Structure 1
Amino acid sequence: MVSVALYCTPNIAIDEGELDETFVRASGPGGQNVNKLSTAVQLRFDARRSAALPNAVAVRLMRLAGRRLTQDGIIVISAQRFRTQDRNRADARERLAEMVAEAAVPPTPRRATRPTLASKKRRLDDKSKRGATKRLRGDGGAGD
Protein backbone atom coordinates (compact mmCIF):
# COMPACT_ATOMS: atom_id res chain seq x y z
CA MET A 1 0.00 0.00 0.00
CA VAL A 2 1.34 3.41 -1.00
CA SER A 3 1.20 6.11 1.66
CA VAL A 4 -0.23 9.19 -0.01
CA ALA A 5 1.01 12.49 1.32
CA LEU A 6 -0.69 15.12 -0.75
CA TYR A 7 -3.92 15.17 -2.75
CA CYS A 8 -3.55 17.93 -5.33
CA THR A 9 -6.43 17.10 -7.67
CA PRO A 10 -8.82 14.15 -7.84
CA ASN A 11 -6.39 12.49 -10.29
CA ILE A 12 -3.02 13.58 -8.85
CA ALA A 13 -1.70 12.48 -5.46
CA ILE A 14 1.96 12.87 -4.50
CA ASP A 15 3.57 10.06 -2.50
CA GLU A 16 5.16 10.87 0.87
CA GLY A 17 8.51 9.48 -0.36
CA GLU A 18 8.73 12.11 -3.12
CA LEU A 19 8.72 14.98 -0.61
CA ASP A 20 11.87 15.95 1.25
CA GLU A 21 11.48 18.28 4.21
CA THR A 22 14.28 19.99 6.11
CA PHE A 23 13.75 22.21 9.11
CA VAL A 24 15.85 25.34 9.52
CA ARG A 25 15.84 28.35 11.79
CA ALA A 26 13.28 30.95 10.83
CA SER A 27 13.70 34.71 10.73
CA GLY A 28 10.01 35.45 11.27
CA PRO A 29 7.80 35.66 14.38
CA GLY A 30 8.57 33.68 17.49
CA GLY A 31 10.56 35.86 19.89
CA GLN A 32 13.38 34.00 21.61
CA ASN A 33 12.17 30.72 20.07
CA VAL A 34 13.60 31.90 16.73
CA ASN A 35 17.09 31.58 18.19
CA LYS A 36 16.49 28.13 19.69
CA LEU A 37 14.12 26.13 17.47
CA SER A 38 14.13 25.17 13.81
CA THR A 39 10.56 26.01 12.88
CA ALA A 40 10.96 27.03 9.22
CA VAL A 41 10.43 24.32 6.60
CA GLN A 42 12.12 23.82 3.24
CA LEU A 43 10.01 21.43 1.18
CA ARG A 44 11.76 19.90 -1.82
CA PHE A 45 9.90 18.13 -4.63
CA ASP A 46 11.54 16.67 -7.73
CA ALA A 47 8.99 17.62 -10.38
CA ARG A 48 11.06 16.29 -13.27
CA ARG A 49 11.29 12.72 -11.95
CA SER A 50 7.94 12.47 -10.13
CA ALA A 51 5.89 9.38 -10.94
CA ALA A 52 2.70 11.07 -9.73
CA LEU A 53 2.72 13.82 -12.36
CA PRO A 54 1.91 13.38 -16.04
CA ASN A 55 4.62 14.84 -18.27
CA ALA A 56 2.54 17.82 -19.44
CA VAL A 57 1.64 18.75 -15.86
CA ALA A 58 5.29 18.48 -14.76
CA VAL A 59 6.39 20.82 -17.57
CA ARG A 60 3.71 23.38 -16.66
CA LEU A 61 4.58 23.04 -12.97
CA MET A 62 8.26 23.73 -13.59
CA ARG A 63 7.37 26.80 -15.66
CA LEU A 64 4.98 27.95 -12.93
CA ALA A 65 7.57 27.46 -10.16
CA GLY A 66 9.79 30.22 -11.57
CA ARG A 67 12.71 31.04 -9.29
CA ARG A 68 11.70 28.32 -6.81
CA LEU A 69 12.96 25.76 -9.35
CA THR A 70 16.58 24.59 -9.18
CA GLN A 71 18.60 23.65 -12.24
CA ASP A 72 18.02 19.97 -11.40
CA GLY A 73 14.23 20.36 -11.68
CA ILE A 74 13.63 20.38 -7.92
CA ILE A 75 11.03 22.77 -6.55
CA VAL A 76 11.99 24.31 -3.20
CA ILE A 77 9.23 25.87 -1.12
CA SER A 78 10.21 27.71 2.06
CA ALA A 79 7.61 28.31 4.76
CA GLN A 80 8.28 30.35 7.87
CA ARG A 81 5.06 32.33 8.32
CA PHE A 82 4.03 30.60 11.52
CA ARG A 83 5.63 29.99 14.91
CA THR A 84 5.29 26.20 14.90
CA GLN A 85 6.92 23.56 12.76
CA ASP A 86 3.62 21.77 12.12
CA ARG A 87 1.85 24.86 10.78
CA ASN A 88 4.79 25.79 8.56
CA ARG A 89 4.95 22.22 7.28
CA ALA A 90 1.21 22.25 6.47
CA ASP A 91 1.61 25.68 4.80
CA ALA A 92 4.43 24.44 2.55
CA ARG A 93 2.49 21.32 1.54
CA GLU A 94 -0.65 23.36 0.86
CA ARG A 95 1.30 25.77 -1.36
CA LEU A 96 2.80 22.86 -3.32
CA ALA A 97 -0.65 21.29 -3.75
CA GLU A 98 -2.03 24.62 -5.03
CA MET A 99 0.83 24.91 -7.54
CA VAL A 100 0.28 21.37 -8.81
CA ALA A 101 -3.49 21.93 -9.05
CA GLU A 102 -2.90 25.11 -11.05
CA ALA A 103 -0.45 23.31 -13.35
CA ALA A 104 -2.92 20.45 -13.84
CA VAL A 105 -5.35 22.74 -15.67
CA PRO A 106 -4.36 22.75 -19.36
CA PRO A 107 -4.28 26.20 -20.99
CA THR A 108 -7.15 26.97 -23.32
CA PRO A 109 -5.94 27.13 -26.92
CA ARG A 110 -6.16 30.49 -28.62
CA ARG A 111 -8.74 30.73 -31.36
CA ALA A 112 -7.83 32.90 -34.31
CA THR A 113 -10.47 35.55 -34.96
CA ARG A 114 -10.97 38.03 -37.76
CA PRO A 115 -11.81 41.70 -37.25
CA THR A 116 -15.36 42.68 -38.11
CA LEU A 117 -16.15 44.89 -41.08
CA ALA A 118 -17.32 47.69 -38.77
CA SER A 119 -14.04 47.61 -36.79
CA LYS A 120 -12.04 47.77 -40.03
CA LYS A 121 -14.06 50.84 -41.12
CA ARG A 122 -13.59 52.50 -37.70
CA ARG A 123 -9.84 51.91 -37.88
CA LEU A 124 -9.58 53.38 -41.38
CA ASP A 125 -11.73 56.40 -40.38
CA ASP A 126 -9.48 57.04 -37.37
CA LYS A 127 -6.38 56.73 -39.55
CA SER A 128 -7.71 59.28 -42.05
CA LYS A 129 -8.66 61.70 -39.23
CA ARG A 130 -5.19 61.44 -37.69
CA GLY A 131 -3.62 61.96 -41.11
CA ALA A 132 -5.76 65.06 -41.69
CA THR A 133 -4.74 66.43 -38.27
CA LYS A 134 -1.06 65.90 -39.07
CA ARG A 135 -1.40 67.53 -42.50
CA LEU A 136 -2.64 70.72 -40.82
CA ARG A 137 0.48 70.94 -38.68
CA GLY A 138 3.73 72.63 -39.66
CA ASP A 139 4.21 74.87 -42.67
CA GLY A 140 1.33 73.49 -44.70
CA GLY A 141 3.30 70.90 -46.63
CA ALA A 142 5.31 73.27 -48.89
CA GLY A 143 8.57 71.37 -49.38
CA ASP A 144 11.93 73.11 -49.94
Structure 2
Amino acid sequence: MLKISSSLDIPLDEIEMHAVRAQGAGGQNVNKVASAIHLRFDIPASSLPEEIKARLLALGDQRISSDGVIVIKAQRFRTQEKNRTDALERLREIVAAAARRPKKRVATKPSRAAKERRLKQKTQRAQIKSMRGKVSDH
Protein backbone atom coordinates (compact mmCIF):
# COMPACT_ATOMS: atom_id res chain seq x y z
CA MET A 1 0.00 0.00 0.00
CA LEU A 2 1.17 3.49 -0.88
CA LYS A 3 0.00 5.71 1.98
CA ILE A 4 -1.21 9.12 0.77
CA SER A 5 -2.81 10.36 4.01
CA SER A 6 -4.26 8.89 7.20
CA SER A 7 -7.50 8.02 5.39
CA LEU A 8 -6.26 7.43 1.82
CA ASP A 9 -3.93 4.85 0.31
CA ILE A 10 -3.38 3.19 -3.06
CA PRO A 11 -2.92 -0.60 -3.38
CA LEU A 12 0.43 -1.39 -5.05
CA ASP A 13 -1.27 -3.74 -7.56
CA GLU A 14 -2.88 -0.64 -9.16
CA ILE A 15 0.58 0.83 -9.82
CA GLU A 16 2.49 -0.59 -12.79
CA MET A 17 6.30 -0.33 -12.59
CA HIS A 18 8.93 -1.45 -15.07
CA ALA A 19 12.70 -1.18 -14.85
CA VAL A 20 14.25 0.43 -17.93
CA ARG A 21 17.69 1.68 -18.86
CA ALA A 22 18.37 5.24 -17.76
CA GLN A 23 19.35 8.00 -20.17
CA GLY A 24 22.26 10.38 -19.99
CA ALA A 25 25.72 10.18 -18.47
CA GLY A 26 26.83 7.22 -16.41
CA GLY A 27 29.07 5.23 -18.70
CA GLN A 28 29.02 1.45 -18.67
CA ASN A 29 26.63 1.28 -15.72
CA VAL A 30 23.89 3.11 -17.67
CA ASN A 31 24.44 0.93 -20.73
CA LYS A 32 24.08 -2.42 -19.00
CA VAL A 33 21.87 -1.91 -15.91
CA ALA A 34 18.13 -1.20 -15.98
CA SER A 35 18.10 1.16 -13.01
CA ALA A 36 15.43 3.69 -14.10
CA ILE A 37 11.81 3.05 -13.13
CA HIS A 38 8.90 3.71 -15.47
CA LEU A 39 5.74 4.06 -13.33
CA ARG A 40 2.19 4.08 -14.72
CA PHE A 41 -0.96 4.74 -12.67
CA ASP A 42 -4.36 4.55 -14.37
CA ILE A 43 -6.57 7.16 -12.66
CA PRO A 44 -10.01 6.09 -14.02
CA ALA A 45 -9.38 2.40 -13.18
CA SER A 46 -8.06 3.13 -9.66
CA SER A 47 -9.84 2.73 -6.33
CA LEU A 48 -9.51 6.42 -5.49
CA PRO A 49 -12.68 8.36 -4.54
CA GLU A 50 -14.45 9.97 -7.51
CA GLU A 51 -13.84 13.56 -6.36
CA ILE A 52 -10.06 12.95 -6.15
CA LYS A 53 -10.07 11.27 -9.57
CA ALA A 54 -11.85 14.32 -11.01
CA ARG A 55 -9.37 16.74 -9.43
CA LEU A 56 -6.42 14.65 -10.66
CA LEU A 57 -7.74 14.62 -14.22
CA ALA A 58 -8.37 18.39 -14.04
CA LEU A 59 -4.84 19.16 -12.82
CA GLY A 60 -3.42 19.70 -16.30
CA ASP A 61 -0.11 18.15 -15.24
CA GLN A 62 2.12 17.14 -18.18
CA ARG A 63 2.73 13.75 -16.54
CA ILE A 64 -0.98 12.87 -16.93
CA SER A 65 -1.76 11.53 -20.40
CA SER A 66 -4.96 12.30 -22.32
CA ASP A 67 -6.42 8.90 -21.36
CA GLY A 68 -5.90 9.61 -17.64
CA VAL A 69 -2.68 7.69 -16.92
CA ILE A 70 0.02 9.22 -14.73
CA VAL A 71 3.44 8.39 -16.24
CA ILE A 72 6.53 8.99 -14.12
CA LYS A 73 10.10 8.15 -15.12
CA ALA A 74 12.48 8.09 -12.16
CA GLN A 75 16.18 8.01 -13.01
CA ARG A 76 17.81 10.38 -10.52
CA PHE A 77 19.67 7.66 -8.65
CA ARG A 78 22.06 4.87 -9.64
CA THR A 79 20.10 2.08 -7.94
CA GLN A 80 16.78 0.66 -9.02
CA GLU A 81 15.46 0.58 -5.44
CA LYS A 82 16.11 4.29 -4.84
CA ASN A 83 14.47 5.14 -8.17
CA ARG A 84 11.44 2.97 -7.28
CA THR A 85 11.09 4.82 -3.96
CA ASP A 86 11.50 8.17 -5.76
CA ALA A 87 8.81 7.30 -8.34
CA LEU A 88 6.35 6.22 -5.63
CA GLU A 89 7.07 9.40 -3.63
CA ARG A 90 6.41 11.57 -6.70
CA LEU A 91 3.13 9.74 -7.34
CA ARG A 92 2.20 10.22 -3.67
CA GLU A 93 2.85 13.99 -3.98
CA ILE A 94 0.63 14.31 -7.07
CA VAL A 95 -2.26 12.40 -5.48
CA ALA A 96 -1.84 14.22 -2.14
CA ALA A 97 -2.05 17.58 -3.94
CA ALA A 98 -5.32 16.50 -5.58
CA ALA A 99 -6.66 15.11 -2.29
CA ARG A 100 -6.55 18.53 -0.62
CA ARG A 101 -9.86 20.31 -1.03
CA PRO A 102 -9.45 23.78 -2.51
CA LYS A 103 -10.53 26.58 -0.16
CA LYS A 104 -13.82 28.22 -1.03
CA ARG A 105 -13.45 31.84 -2.06
CA VAL A 106 -15.15 34.30 0.25
CA ALA A 107 -16.61 37.17 -1.73
CA THR A 108 -15.58 40.57 -0.35
CA LYS A 109 -16.35 44.16 -1.29
CA PRO A 110 -13.92 47.08 -1.34
CA SER A 111 -14.24 49.44 1.62
CA ARG A 112 -15.59 52.99 1.25
CA ALA A 113 -12.09 54.42 1.83
CA ALA A 114 -10.67 52.17 -0.92
CA LYS A 115 -13.37 53.34 -3.34
CA GLU A 116 -12.67 56.98 -2.47
CA ARG A 117 -8.91 56.49 -2.95
CA ARG A 118 -9.51 54.91 -6.35
CA LEU A 119 -11.80 57.72 -7.48
CA LYS A 120 -9.35 60.37 -6.20
CA GLN A 121 -6.52 58.72 -8.18
CA LYS A 122 -8.74 58.61 -11.27
CA THR A 123 -9.51 62.33 -11.06
CA GLN A 124 -5.84 63.19 -10.49
CA ARG A 125 -4.85 61.07 -13.48
CA ALA A 126 -7.56 62.69 -15.61
CA GLN A 127 -6.26 66.15 -14.68
CA ILE A 128 -2.71 65.20 -15.64
CA LYS A 129 -3.91 63.86 -19.00
CA SER A 130 -6.08 66.91 -19.69
CA MET A 131 -3.04 69.14 -19.17
CA ARG A 132 -1.29 67.34 -22.07
CA GLY A 133 -3.63 68.87 -24.63
CA LYS A 134 -2.76 71.66 -27.06
CA VAL A 135 -2.38 75.12 -25.59
CA SER A 136 -4.95 77.55 -26.98
CA ASP A 137 -4.41 81.33 -27.55
CA HIS A 138 -7.57 82.52 -25.73
Partner of 1:121: 116
Does residue 76 of the first structure (1) align with residue 67 of the second (2)? no
Deviations 1:55-82 (A, max 9, x none): 1111212233611111221100110000
Structure 1 window deviating more from structure 2 (114-123 vs 132-141): it is 132-141
**Partners of 1:141 and 1:84 in 2: how far apart?**
82
Find the partner of 2:90 among 92, 95, 98.
95
Does residue 21 (structure 1) correspond to residue 17 (structure 2)? The answer is yes
Deviates more, 1:64-73 or 1:127-136: 64-73
> Closer, same or farther in 2 for the Cα pair 1:140/1:50, shift >3 Å?
farther
Q: Trace 1:1-144 onto structure 2 (pairs within 5 A).
A: 4=1, 6-51=2-47, 53-64=48-59, 66-140=61-135
The total of aligned residue pairs comes to: 137
In structure 1, what residue type is equivalent to 2:109?
R
- TM-score, with length taken from structure 2: 0.92
Q: How much has 1:138 moved relative to structure 2?
A: 2.5
For structure 1, the 5+ residue unaligned runs are none
User: In percent, how many aligned pairs have the same letter?
Assistant: 47
8 Å contact from structure 1 (residues 40, 80) kept in 2:
yes
Q: Give the CA deviation at 1:28.
A: 4.0
1:141 is displaced (CA, Å) by 7.7
**Structure 2 portions without partners, runs of 5+:** none
CA contact (8 A) 1:8 1:97 kept: yes
Distance 1:141 1:45, change over 3 A: farther
**C-alpha spacing 1:45/1:121, structure 2 compared with 1 (3 Å):** same
Give the TM-score normalised by the residue count of structure 1: 0.89
